[in-house]
Amino acid sequence: MQALGIDIGGSGIKGAIVDLEKGKLLTERYRIPTPQPPTPAAVTQVVGKIIKHFKWKGPVGCGFPTSIKNGVCRTESNLDKKWVGINVEEYFNEAIGLDFCVINDADAAAVAEMRYGAGKNKKGLVMVITLGTGIGSGAFFNGIFLPNFELGQLHFRGYEKVEHYAANSARKREELSFKKWGKRLNKTLNYYSLIFSPDLYIIGGGGSKYFNEFEQHLDLSIPVIPARSLNEAGIIGAAVAGNESFCKQ
């Protein structure tokens, strides 16, 4: 079975057709830079271009970089504040003419990793932390999906948000060495551990490709492992959500 997954990020919007049995991309990722400013109309236009590129006619699963509740955007995160209060599923449906299931982008990555990747058959509280323009976080407890763990939005060490301190974008912006970035990630993960006491961290997102560079600077009492799907997890999890009507559960 196949499905289209679209991953909307702060810097890029990408999609691909996914093999849902294997959890693998059947096509090359098609990526378009996130428009600036990332207003509803501008982002929707890009989503439409990706759907047209794949000539897709069925339901669409979409990972979205904000807190999403019953299809409604609750926070602006790395998008335009005009998104807040909009039912994203209805907005896309009316503009594009297809059925959409929209979930938080880190939740989508967590869905992929728990079903096909590093989190498969793992018990306890598993947190998938995505490192990109921001810090996303998806959580499962004994295999049960817990939506909207927006840990990147927490305040930390004088920063407005912890993602401003430790996201992959912070590494680039401040030209941090992997050692310095790794130490920031270590402090961030220990901060999360103090609050939630997870049993496992899985590191995903675009920053996960540097896992071997910063792993030696992590010192935690629980395991930290890289995502198997790396930067493709968001697309794969979004495709699963769209096919299985996560939004109607």
- Using 50, 70 and 90 to split pLDDT, how confident is the model at 232? confident
How confident is the model at residue 172, as a pLDDT? 96
Whole-number Å distance between alpha carbons of 117 and 210: 18
**What homologous superfamily does CATH list for 2-107+232-248?**
ATPase, nucleotide binding domain (3.30.420.40)
pLDDT score of 15: 98
Burial (0-12, 13-18, 19+ Cβ within 10 Å), 141:
middle
Residue 11 has pLDDT above 90, yes or no: no
Provide the residue type at 234 as one letter. Answer: G
pLDDT tens-digit map of 96-106: 999 999 999 98
Per-residue model confidence (pLDDT) at position 78:
77
Query: Model confidence over 116-159: pLDDT tens digits?
Result: 999 999 999 999 999 998 999 999 999 999 988 889 989 888 88
Superfamily for the 121-228 domain:
ATPase, nucleotide binding domain (3.30.420.40)
Tell me whether domains 2-107+232-248 and 121-228 share a fold.
yes
pLDDT for position 231: 76
> pLDDT grade, residue 59 (50/70/90)?
very high
Looking up tokens 């991309």, which residue turns up? 25
* Lowest mean pLDDT, pick from 147-151, 167-171, 176-180: 147-151
Q: Can you tell me the distance from the alpha carbon of 235 to that of 6, in angstroms, rounded to the nearest whole number?
A: 5
Specify the pairing of strand 135-141 against strand 72-73. unpaired
Distances (CA, A) of 102 to 72, 110, 113, 127, 156: 9, 14, 18, 20, 29
Angle at the Cα of 156 (from 154 to 159), degrees rounded to 5?
100
CB count in 10 Å sphere of residue 81: 12
The mean predicted confidence, pLDDT, of the chain is 93
Q: Where are the domains of the chain?
A: 2-107+232-248, 121-228
pTM of the predicted protein model: 0.88
Q: For residue 111, what pLDDT band results from cuts at 50, 70 and 90?
A: very high
Least confident of 51-60, 143-152, 165-174: 143-152
Backbone phi and psi for residue 237, each to the nearest 5 degrees, phi listed first: -65, -35
Whether 202 has a pLDDT exceeding 70, the answer reads: yes
For residues 234 and 162, the answer to whether their CB atoms sit within 8 Å is no
Contact 25, 232 (CB under 8 A): yes
Q: Which residue has the tokens 């968001």?
A: 234
What's the pLDDT at 139? 95
Query: Up-side HSE of residue 32: CA atoms within 13 Å toward CB?
Result: 19
